[in-house]
Amino acid sequence: MTTQPQSSPVSGAGENSPGEQPQAKASAGGAGQGKRAMAGRPQASGSLWWLSLLSVTGFLVFWYAIVRFEIISQALLASPEQVLATFISKLTNRAPDGATLGANFRTSLKLCLTGYISAVCVGVPLGLVMGWFRKVDEIVKPLFEMIRPIPPIAWIPLAILWLGIGLPAKAFIIWLSAFVPSVINSYAGIKLTEPVLISVSRTFGATNWETFLKVGAPSALPMVFTGLRLSLSSAWMTLVAAELLAGSEGLGYMIQMGRTLARPDVIIVGMLTIGATGAAMGFVLEKFERRLTPWRRS
């Protein structure tokens, strides 16, 4: 269950200047607070899982019924069991887009992770250094601020014009989409380092570089991870856009072909795969975060 609010002003493609106080800090202690707030609500608490089960079942029945009784034409929407059947057959069947679901999945995942990892490797150190060393900040910030408000998707035409419609263009766009949030959050994170900690470190005779590595960077970690999460979802979304517009394989291409051929079942299988993969990657990242920043749980 994600109670992480998407409310940090430094998140996503938000237009706030990174110098502002990020609200995401509030979410650090948020989980425990949320529990108390919940208890404070006037409703009697108790296990309500049966209601959830009921609603999901109801949703599936509703979906099945509107297709079964042709309230919505079969050409527009596939019923749940058709989607399931297509999913199973798509695991081995290359039709209609020329690759199996697994092959499409691997293509997309590889592309996304390539762009994402290379963006993070550049973006996080850049953000940290920008936040710590004033000179770097003054040089890089104006440049960065010019690129930042342009959504990564708007780069697609230029990338295609420059690099063609192959892998480099898509990797470039995904790189950009993941780069921006990872820089912003690392920057904001290190700017928020407790001044007392910095003073203590200086008092004990640490150099500026040592303070940066041993105090600044670790204290920025929670915000860095917020950035990594945002980058990942941004990269995954941009990947879909890039494949929709200029792809010959991958999940985005598969749903685009599903549309061209008027196969709603293929589209829905693709959408669900995209959603599930995005959620799974987010989950893995969260596990990883718990490992690396155990002090956050307190």
Q: Among 217, 241, 250, 269, which residue sits at the site for another protein (rule: CB under 8 A)? A: 241
112 binds another protein (CB under 8 A): no
Q: Which is nearer to another protein, 161 or 196 (CB)?
A: 161
Shortest gap between Cβ of 177 and another protein (angstroms)? 10
96: preceding bond cis by omega (within 30 degrees): yes
291 binds another protein (CB under 8 A): no
Positions in 133-192 near another protein (CB under 8 A) = 142-143, 146, 148-158, 160-162
Instruction: From 150, 176, 174, select the one nearest 250 (Cα to Cα).
Output: 174
Separation CA 221–CA 289 (nearest Å): 9
Name the segment binding another protein (CB under 8 A); options: 35-43, 179-187, 191-199, 287-295: 35-43
Can you say whether residue 73 is alpha, beta or left, with left for phi > 0 and alpha for psi between -120 and 50 degrees?
beta
Name the segment binding another protein (CB under 8 A); options: 101-109, 119-127, 264-272, 290-298: 264-272
43 binds another protein (CB under 8 A): yes
218 binds another protein (CB under 8 A): no
Q: What are the CA-CA distances from residue 2 to residues 30, 52, 189, 279 (Å)?
A: 11, 17, 21, 11
The two structure tokens encoding residue 103: 């092959």
Cβ(118)–Cβ(175) under 8 Å? Answer: yes
240 binds another protein (CB under 8 A): yes
The two structure tokens encoding residue 249: 């394989």
Instruction: From 56, 57, 59, 80, select the one nearest 68 (Cα to Cα).
Output: 80
Q: How many residues bind another protein (CB under 8 A)?
A: 82
Positions in 44-103 near another protein (CB under 8 A) = 45, 48-49, 51-52, 54-56, 59, 76-77
Shortest gap between Cβ of 212 and another protein (angstroms)? 25
CA-based max dimension of the chain: 77
Q: Among 14, 127, 181, 189, which residue sits at the site for another protein (rule: CB under 8 A)? A: 14
CA dihedral sign of residues 246, 252, 258, 264 = negative
Q: Among 7, 74, 199, 248, which residue sits at the site for another protein (rule: CB under 8 A)? A: 7
Q: Which is nearer to another protein, 91 or 261 (CB)?
A: 261
Separation CA 258–CA 155 (nearest Å): 25
Q: Which is nearer to another protein, 14 or 123 (CB)?
A: 14
